[in-house]
Amino acid sequence: MKVLDQRHLPDERPATMDEKGKRVFIFPARVSGLWRSLRTVTEIFLVIFFLVLPWIKIGGHQALLLNIGERKFSIFGLTFWAHDAPLIFFILAFLTIGLAFVTAVWGRIWCGWACPQTVFIDGIFRRLEYLIIGSHVQQRNLAQAPWDVKKFLKLSTLWTLFIIVSLVIAHSFLAYFVGADRLVEMTQHNPGENWTIFVIMAFLTIVFLFDFGWFREQFCIIVCPYGRFQSVLLDDDSLTVSYDPVRGEPRRGSVKNGETEGDCINCYNCVAVCPTGIDIRNGLQLECIGCTACIDACDEVMEKIEKPKGLIRYATGRALKGLKSKWFRPRVAIYIVLLIAVVSALVFSVQRREEIVVTILRGKDTPFQVIKNGDGSEEIINHFKMHMKNQSIDDVQLKMMIPEGLKEKKVEIISQYESFDLGAGKDLTVHFFVKFPKDVTGRSGTQAVKLNFIDTKNNKIEAEEDVLLVGPKSI
């Protein structure tokens, strides 16, 4: 196993890759300090948040549900279906522009503080390694040691814990997509009854185990597209974890004749703690996830040598050059305008969105039919085709009602359905007729009627739709 030589990092390739393209493993040292403490608190909160969120309910429904199979999406009380494409588009646009905005202002704060990849690796997997194996030196020694009983016991204990944690994460992750209630129900049955979900669960567990247990920084460096976009999302005014070369250089060991030594004592502690194996002193790099470990490591050194802290700190490129940083700049203004536009469009769409959508069209046949009753009176029949769509997350039973005033005039609906059972997200197309005495449409031959659709469970009007009754014109 090749292990990172922190004092001799290659310039021409990522430090986690040797000259033949093989993986070079990193064993980052533990660090303590202000930022480490803040990140620990954040990680505890986020681990709980990520794992618990799918089990939280708002208004009786899962707080965050992304059920792709049933094309049902529930986000903090709002429910969308696949046909709500504009709403889904606005939400995705908000997240994308929001991330671009956050990156332009605060750099890779998402990667270092909130990305599940960082949170789970740093918050759980690395902690288990420190607990079972020991310090980064002990981890490195064990990894390079030949196999014996001690190595087998330590690594088998560690990977058993990794598997348990991966299983927990996979269950919570799947709950976002199939629904927490359904997942609990499925776990009480034989896996054979839900073998597709069982296979997905096993696959996810393996993916998390592989990624969080072994692949780690390679995901950020090689796979994650967000990291690749940094060069276009960041500029000289973005806040990033940075080394101050004005203060630090010339570092110890590189002082030439007549130069005064800078504050950097070339101890390499900042490299030793870096989880992506880079030297922050080489400037902003794609591999830097902004985890702040090097800030704490360097602050500890500065404290020991009695120099001011902050040789590595959160700073903008402009501030490092001694210039004033501009928080508000054209790209930030554009992101804010776009965010306001997208949020306004989202709010507008949500407010206009109806949970029960009813569309009524006139039947394709003749506009009306005249029928003769036994007593010689005439009545008119109109034929309509109706499409009903339930966009809510609840099943409903709807009853179509005509206004009381028209009921008294003997206007009646003829349908094969007493009421309409509409499951959540389902739609229904039915034909119905309206029968009415000839005088209802009067001399004009038409009469507008508002049909009400009442939920039988709570007697609430869920939708209203106008139809035009048509009869013969009288001269």
Binding residues vs ligand SF4 (CB under 6 A) = 241, 243, 248, 264-270, 273-276, 278, 280-281, 288-294, 297-298, 301, 311-312
To ligand SF4, the closest distance from the beta carbon of 253 in angstroms equals 10
To ligand SF4, the closest distance from the beta carbon of 2 in angstroms equals 19
What letter would DSSP give residue 338?
H
Which residue's CB is nearer to ligand SF4, number 84 or number 299?
Answer: 299
Read out DSSP for 259-317? PPP-S-----HHHHT-TT---GGG---TT-----HHHHHHHHHHHHTT--S-SEEEEEH
What letter would DSSP give residue 323?
P
Residue 200's SS3 state is helix
Outline where 211-235 has alpha helix (H).
Answer: 217-218, 225-228, 230-233
To ligand SF4, the closest distance from the beta carbon of 61 in angstroms equals 39
Radius of gyration of the chain measured on its C-alpha atoms: 33
CA distance 154 to 156: 6
Which residue's CB is nearer to ligand SF4, number 280 or number 346?
Answer: 280
To ligand SF4, the closest distance from the beta carbon of 353 in angstroms equals 43
CA distance 361 to 412: 18
Which residue's CB is nearer to ligand SF4, number 253 or number 258?
Answer: 253
The residue ranges of DSSP E strands in 33-155, in sequence order, are: 57-58, 61-62, 64-67, 72-75, 78-81
Which residue's CB is nearer to ligand SF4, number 286 or number 413?
Answer: 286
CA distance 232 to 100: 10
Which residue's CB is nearer to ligand SF4, number 169 or number 293?
Answer: 293
To ligand SF4, the closest distance from the beta carbon of 304 in angstroms equals 10
| End-to-end CA separation in angstroms for the chain | 99
Total number of residues shown for the chain: 475
What letter would DSSP give residue 17?
B
Which residue's CB is nearer to ligand SF4, number 124 or number 293?
Answer: 293
The residues, ordered by sequence, that sit 6+ positions from 122 with a Cβ below 8 Å of its Cβ are 39, 43, 275, 291
Which residue's CB is nearer to ligand SF4, number 99 or number 267?
Answer: 267
Read out DSSP for 378-398? EEEEEEEEEEEEE-SSS-EEE
Which residue's CB is nearer to ligand SF4, number 157 or number 266?
Answer: 266
To ligand SF4, the closest distance from the beta carbon of 271 in angstroms equals 7
Phi and psi torsions of 428, nearest 5°:
-150, 135
Token output for 224? 């994650």
To ligand SF4, the closest distance from the beta carbon of 107 in angstroms equals 10
Which residue's CB is nearer to ligand SF4, number 316 or number 390?
Answer: 316
Q: Are 75 and 58 in contact (CB under 8 A)?
A: no
To ligand SF4, the closest distance from the beta carbon of 256 in angstroms equals 18
To ligand SF4, the closest distance from the beta carbon of 49 in angstroms equals 22
To ligand SF4, the closest distance from the beta carbon of 301 in angstroms equals 5
Which residue's CB is nearer to ligand SF4, number 209 or number 265?
Answer: 265
